[in-house]
């Protein structure tokens, strides 16, 4: 990142159209009482990830999950969670047609088996999924992709590039009518791929991948609360993501990948991957855009481009960020559990005006 700009050089407030989060993990059960209000305080629509245990694989399961989410919405808040379904090796063309008929379902999430948290039920043979991809293309159902190979012979820092070459480029070439969201991209290779692909290919970028690189994960010891998958990459890749985010190119839009893990599990040898950013999400993006001298580009990235990509109406409400130095929460306590959020205790330059 560039050196931190002086507060005096920044606008006193920024008014943007209410944003959407096109990639979030709300988890389930008691945790929803924490994640739903934190997300709905800012975002109108969210794409809710389906990697529960068991996974959300069909329209009926998604409907029941959405009801549990809405039951935790505080009175007076407007919130429209869009549900992603978990793509498995057993997903059929009939399943795709049922998903296409449900307006609360936004697409299918492709997790290569073993790629991230609760991905054991993911796809094991991507090459065999052609009939399902064709059905998605014909029925207008987007494919949301966690783009990493999982074979042990590929270095963890090269898994995104390998996935592009082996799978994503062939999929987008063979099914040009299929909308594909390359989620939480982390490399210059991914940026270049999205820029060079047809108009039906877009990408989400997280706050942690804009604000940090692998030094922030590894220098001075392993900083577990900065550990996510795909893992943070070298600075040159971070800079490519920053350029993409502030470019005004509508192929790139906001997706936090906010992913809570209770402190007791995150700070162990289990290697829980995920940055829990929901409690300061839009403020984190404002921090990144302010550092880059591009606050005027925040609204398009956060509020317009994702809605446009999914052919949904732009929101009409507005949100005000005021220049106000504050600190992200050190910890979140809920139902007897403790979570350490991303950026815990660190300063931020803007805060949502209440």
Burial 211-249 (b: 16+ CB within 10 A, else e): bbbbeebeeeeeebbbbbbbbbbeeebbebbbebbbbeb
Within a domain: 283: yes
Residue in the block written with tokens 């943070």: 232
| pLDDT, position 353 | 95
In tens, the pLDDT along 272-302 reads 899 999 999 999 999 999 999 999 999 999 9
Is 2 among the domain residues? no
Residue 14, pLDDT score? 97
Q: Give the pTM.
A: 0.96
Q: Is 107 helix (H, G, I), strand (E, B) or coil?
A: strand
Count of structural domains, the chain = 1
Annotated binding site for substrate: 25-27, 51, 146, 229, 261, 273
Residue 98 resides in a domain: yes
The list of the chain residues with pLDDT below 50 reads none
CATH of the domain at 74: 3.20.20.140
Q: Is 1 among the domain residues?
A: no
Residues making up the annotated binding site for Zn(2+) are 23, 25, 109, 146, 184, 257
Six-digit token pair at 328?
């992200």
Residue 250 forms part of a structural domain: yes
Cα 237–Cα 265–Cα 207 angle in degrees, nearest 5 = 30
Domain that holds residue 307: 7-352
Residue-wise pLDDT for 120-165, tens only, equals 778 989 999 999 999 999 999 999 999 999 888 999 999 999 999 9
Which amino acids are annotated as binding site, given as ranges? 23, 25-27, 51, 109, 146, 184, 229, 257, 261, 273
Give catalytic residues, as residue numbers. 257
Q: Is residue 42 part of a domain?
A: yes
């Amino acid at each position: 990142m560039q050196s931190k700009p002086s507060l005096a050089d920044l606008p006193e407030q920024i008014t943007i159209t209410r944003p959407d989060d096109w990639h979030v993990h709300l988890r389930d059960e008691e945790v929803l009482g924490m994640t739903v209000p934190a997300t709905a305080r800012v975002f109108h629509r969210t794409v809710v990830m389906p990697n529960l245990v068991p996974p959300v694989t069909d329209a009926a399961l998604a409907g029941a999950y959405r009801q549990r989410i809405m039951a935790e919405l505080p009175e007076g808040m407007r919130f429209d969670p869009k549900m992603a379904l978990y793509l498995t090796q057993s997903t059929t063309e009939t399943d795709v047609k049922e998903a296409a008929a449900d307006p609360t379902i936004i697409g299918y999430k492709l997790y290569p088996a073993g790629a991230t948290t609760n991905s054991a039920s993911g796809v094991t043979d991507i090459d065999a999924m052609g009939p399902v991809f064709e059905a998605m293309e014909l029925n207008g159902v987007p494919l949301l992709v966690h783009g990493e190979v999982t074979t042990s012979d590929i270095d963890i820092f090269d898994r995104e590039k390998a996935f592009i070459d082996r799978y994503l480029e062939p999929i987008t070439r063979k099914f040009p009518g299929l909308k594909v969201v390359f989620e939480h991209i982390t490399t210059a290779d991914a940026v270049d791929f999205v820029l060079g692909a047809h108009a039906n290919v877009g990408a989400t970028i997280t706050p942690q991948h804009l604000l940090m690189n692998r030094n922030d994960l590894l220098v001075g010891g392993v900083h577990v609360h900065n550990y996510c998958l795909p893992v943070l990459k070298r600075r040159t890749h971070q800079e490519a993501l920053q350029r993409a985010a502030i470019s005004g190119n509508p192929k790139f839009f906001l997706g936090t990948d906010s992913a809570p893990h209770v402190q007791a599990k995150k700070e162990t040898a289990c290697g829980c991957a995920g940055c829990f950013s929901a409690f300061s999400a839009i403020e984190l993006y404002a921090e990144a855009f302010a550092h880059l001298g591009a606050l005027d580009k925040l609204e398009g990235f956060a509020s317009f481009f994702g809605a446009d990509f999914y052919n949904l109406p732009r929101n009409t409400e507005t949100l005000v960020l005021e220049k106000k130095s504050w600190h992200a929460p050190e910890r979140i306590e809920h139902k007897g559990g403790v979570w350490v959020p991303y950026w815990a205790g660190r300063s931020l330059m803007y805060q949502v005006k209440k």
